[in-house]
Amino acid sequence: MTTFKSLFEQYHWDSIQQKIQHVTAAEVQHSLSKRKRTIDDFLILISPAATPFLEEMAAMSKELTQKRFGRTIQMYVPMYLSNECQNICTYCGFSLDNKLKRKTLNDADILKEAEAIKQAGFEHVLLVTGEANYTVNINYFLNAISLLKAKFANISVEVQPLSTEEYQALHTAGVHAVLVYQETYHRQVYKQYHPKGKKSNFDFRLETPDRIGKAGIHKIGLGVLLGLEDWRTDSFFTALHLDYLQKKYWQSRYSVSFPRLRPAEGIIEPNFIMDDKDMLQLICAYRIWNEDLEVSVSTRENEKFRDNIIHLGATSMSAGSRTNPGGYSVAPESLEQFETSDERSAEEVAEKIRAAGYEPVWKDWDKIYTS
Amino acid sequence: MKPLVIGDKKFESRLFLGTGKFGSATHMEEAVLASGSELVTVALKRVDFAKDTDSLLSHLNHSHINLLPNTSGARNAKEAVFAAQLAREAMETNWLKLEIHPDPKYLLPDPIETLKATEELAKLGFIILPYMHADPVLCRRLEDAGTSAVMPLGAPIGSNKGLKTQDFLEIIIEQSRVPVIVDAGIGAPSHAALAMEMGADAVLVNTAIAVAGNPVLMAESFKEAVIAGRKAFESQLAGSVSIASASSPLTSFLYD
């Protein structure tokens, strides 16, 4: 099977980085005036040369998002099932070398957490784990999904990379979306941040979305951990990956997330700082390039940014999130993956969305389509 | 104006509405009421049947409004047929807007799966209104399969581009034995009026109203445009009458 790897290897990090730095204002104006845009336009729109056009880009992003998604924001919430992990990722609270108490939810825990989440109004849930293949593997996931399927309209997962057959099993079990982040597309830097564990295999991770697409999963979510490397170059590769997948696995929908490195227990400081202005430029560039891409904004972002992004390009938002297993009811004090920034409750965030003239949508899927 | 008859129902209004994309259920309800529409489509996937008062349905609870559940989200005939049966049970109607778009990018309808699903659903007793390409042959095939209406697109859904498929819509209107409802792409009241002038039986509008600065006012203007277009059609718009003419300068010598 040919995968994204063969396309990826035709590009060189340094030359893309150079190209982004050398974009001119005239190129930006031309890209903004086009009817149809390509990946080359995305490169232009994330460049420093596009920064002075941010107001114009925000207006376009707002209009395009409304046209495609209406005045709605899809609500979802993460449910952390486990913080066990065999990987060393130097930025993550769950890293193997962090000597803290580990927890994996059992059946009773999962049901209790589900109740707490349902109480808050959620119908779309994202299941998250570390990577502990002996205990938290496909059998564990299938069991968790069978427990949760009757309770939620839409189940997504963000777990370790799996095989095509395992993704097919998740699809059959009723999983709607699979999220997997490359963290960084810089091969050497990736190695430094992921020195140990299965995750240290860059290529296996790089080819994961191909396996998800091949399994027929309805939605595929991509992203990089912003702060590990130059966000512009990393985002170009993310867009290149999305572009490739969207053409090849054309029956799947795509979403992109923007995890900015947040403080966590025992982690290193980000190498590259990305400020709010950069983040807004990136989100607008994604929207202007790709009108139907779903844009997810998590509670890693602060209240002010989230309140303003509602009408500038976001299509889905989490709220009231806990990033530790059992965080909603079972074990509120267990180790968090990272500190959330927006700590408001789901209802408070929903109220903000309504105040912005948007409807928080709790349910926009039905199990019937994944049976 | 002549009422529109589809299946066993009669409609005074020839404007159908979609209920997605509104900033709130209240805005949606106000726009639907202002539009005078008697048939609104609701995505099955948006409805929470587990809740006693679903936010969408509770705002559509008016005696003159008929619900038209749609299968948005279905990628093939099998999923659409499942969804249709769930909708029939949960929403207590055998009316169905059949939508099968395996392509999530432009949401273009799959003609093969749509035909397959129509064949099956007709046997199950559904009143089917299928979303489809402006393909005159496909329309005939769907009629043969037992559809109750056809819903050809004017332009890609949500694009607001108007009647890009006009030439094909004209053929469909000319040939069709079931009502023709132009769906998707209608972005302005003038587009709706044009479709009605051409002889379309109705139009379905969503994005143009939901995303307007003032959805209620926009709903009213669509209402008026649809009425104007229909009246023009019924009064035999000049240009649509191509044969009979009062004076015959070329042939009058025959009768001198």
pLDDT in tens, A130-162: 999 889 999 999 999 999 999 999 999 999 999
User: What is the three-class DSSP state of A364?
Assistant: coil
Cα angle for residues A84, A90, A95 (degrees, 5° grid): 10
- The verdict on B207 touching A (C-beta cutoff 8 Å) is yes
- Reported as a single tens digit per residue, the pLDDT across B122-178 is 999 999 999 999 999 999 999 999 999 999 999 988 788 999 999 999 999 988 889
Buried b (16+ CB within 10 A) or exposed e, A235-248: bbbbbbbbbbbbeb
Q: Provide the chain B residues 64-83 that lie in CB contact (below 8 A) with chain A.
A: 73-75, 79, 82-83
**CATH label of the domain that carries residue A44:** 3.20.20.70
Q: What is the predicted ipTM?
A: 0.70
Nearest CA among A232, A222, A285, A207 for reference residue A256: A222
Interchain proximity A359–B48, CB inside 8 Å: no
- Cβ <8 Å between A369 and B43: no
CB-CB neighbors (< 8 A) of B22 in chain A: 70-72, 359
In a domain, A32, yes or no: no
Tell me whether B249 touches chain A (CB under 8 Å): no
**What's the CA gap between B44 and B60, in Å, rounded?**
14
pLDDT score at B240: 52
pLDDT tier at B52, thresholds 50, 70, 90:
low
Two structure tokens written together for B72: 């948005």
More confident residue, A225 or A368: A225
Using CA coordinates, name the residue in chain A closest to B185: A67
Interface test with B, best of A36, A63, A67 (most B CBs within 10 A): A67
Is B97 designated active site? yes
Instruction: Judge whether A31 lies within some domain.
Output: no
**A30 within domain boundaries:** no
Enumerate the residues of chain B whose CB falls inside 8 A of the CB of residue A252.
Answer: 104
Between chain A and chain B, the number of residue pairs with CB atoms below 8 A apart is 79
Domain residues for the domain of B197 are: 4-255
Q: Do B22 and A71 touch (CB under 8 A)?
A: yes
Closest CA to A355 of B20, B54, B23: B23
CB contact under 8 A, A153 and B73: no
Say yes or no for a CB contact (<8 Å) between B45 and A369.
yes
Judged against a pLDDT cut of 60, whether residue B242 lies above it is answered with: no
Pairing relationship of beta strands B4-6 and B9-11 according to DSSP bridges = antiparallel
| CB-based contact B149:B172 (threshold 8 Å) | no
> In the numeric block, which tokens belong to residue A313?
């390009």
Residue A137 lies in a domain: yes
Q: How many domains, chain A? A: 1
Residue of A nearest to B73 (CA): A369
B188–A contact, CB cutoff 8 A = no
Tell me the mean pLDDT in the region A217-225: 96
Q: What pLDDT score does A88 carry?
A: 87
- Could you give the number of structural domains in chain B? 1
For residue B11, the domain's CATH number is 3.20.20.70
Helix, strand or coil for residue A108? helix
Interface test with B, best of A369, A370, A371 (most B CBs within 10 A): A369
Best A64, A359, A371 residue to mutate vs chain B (most B CBs within 10 Å): A359
Closest chain A CA to residue B161 = A67
- Give the Cα separation of B40 and B47 in Å (integer): 14
Question: Rounded to an integer, what distance in angstroms lies between the CA atom of residue B40 and that of residue B32?
Answer: 8
State the pLDDT at residue A92: 81
Closest partner residue to A363 (CB to CB) among B22, B46, B106 is B46
Question: Which residues of B fall within a CB distance of 8 Å from A246?
Answer: 105
Q: Are strands A359-361 and A124-128 parallel, antiparallel or unpaired?
A: unpaired
**Confidence band (pLDDT; 50, 70, 90) for A261?**
confident
Q: Which residues of B touch A253 (CB under 8 A)?
A: 104
For the cut 60, the answer to whether the pLDDT of residue B245 exceeds it is no
Residues on chain B touching A368 (C-beta within 8 angstroms): 44, 79, 82-83, 86
Q: Is the pLDDT of residue B222 over 70?
A: yes
**Which of chain A's residues have a Cβ under 8 Å away from the Cβ of B44?**
366, 368
Which of A257-261, A329-333, B87-91 is the least confident region? A329-333
Check: CB of residue A113 under 8 Å from CB of residue A79.
yes
| C-alpha span between B154 and B166 (Å, rounded) | 7
Inter-chain CB proximity B75 and A363 less than 8 Å = no
pLDDT at B106: 87
Residue among B162, B157, B235, B225 at smallest CA distance from B189: B225
Averaged pLDDT score across all residues of chain A? 92
Average pLDDT over residues B202-217: 94
Whether B156 has its CB under 8 Å from any CB of chain A: the answer is no
- Averaged pLDDT, A98-106: 88
pLDDT tens digit sequence for A182-209: 999 999 999 998 988 889 999 999 999 9
Mean pLDDT score, B209-234: 95
Q: Give the residue numbers spanning the domain of A19.
A: 4-25+37-370
A192 falls within a domain: yes
Sequence-ordered list of residues with C-beta below 8 angstroms from that of A212, at least 6 positions apart, any chain:
A167, A178, A180, A220, A252
Residues in chain A closer than 8 A to B46 (CB atoms): 361, 363-364
- CA–CA separation, A317 vs A353, rounded Å? 10
The pair of structure tokens assigned to A183 is: 């963290």
Q: Which of B9, B45, B97, B223 is catalytic?
A: B97
Contacts B20 to A, Cβ<8 Å: 70, 72
Give the pLDDT band (50/70/90) at residue A265. low
Tokens of A356: 């912005």
Select from A242, A253, A368 the residue whose CB has the most chain B CBs within 10 Å, as the one to mutate to test that interface. A368
